Amino acid sequence: MGIVVTYVVYLLISVALTVFVGSALSRSGRIFLLDVFGGQVAPAQAASRLVVVGFYLLNLGFVTLTMRMSGEIGGARQVIQVLSVKIGEVLLVLGGLYLANIGFLTRLRRRAQAEAYQQVPPEGSRPEPPLPRPRGPEATTPPEPRTADSATTIAQAAETGQTRRAKSPDQGLWRPRPRQAIH
């Protein structure tokens, strides 16, 4: 009679643990799947049900395969020892399956995010980049007002072929500003 009680207790504990972990997987996985399916509720719920049913089938299959116990159970001490080993095996499998499912969902989410990042929006929806602004001292100082003397100086320089060039640290070349990395 001791072996039958041990089987019943093992099944009750194992099924209860499986249902508890499966419901936690369903709750946390639904958020990932909503993100993967772009906020569409129906495909996310369907995928969540499929993942959870697979989880239940794998774990309950393991529970039934490992239910067999060797030898006779003579007392309460042996019942506790056998149950602790069996429940420990179930917990290890539950943890492994849970982590595998979370890894699978994370992988799906990353793949969906990478695909969304690689998609190029239509030409009309992309904003135009701002025009480059000149850099250097000539960009910050206002131009000098022309007077008769400065106009004469410019005309004389043009006749003799001499031109004045402003010396700037970037030699008059425009350099784009570095962009910040997207994380």
pLDDT in tens, 47-104: 888 888 888 998 889 888 888 877 677 778 888 888 888 889 888 988 888 888 878 8
Q: Tell me, what DSSP letter sits at residue 183? A: -
pTM of the predicted model, to two decimals?
0.54
Question: CA gyration radius for the chain?
Answer: 37
DSSP string of 81-97?
HHHHHHHHHHHHHHHHH
pLDDT in tens, 87-146: 898 889 888 888 888 788 788 878 877 877 777 565 556 566 666 666 665 555 555 555
DSSP string of 41-96?
HHHHHHHHHHHHHHHHHHHHHHHHHT----S---SHHHHHHHHHHHHHHHHHHHHH
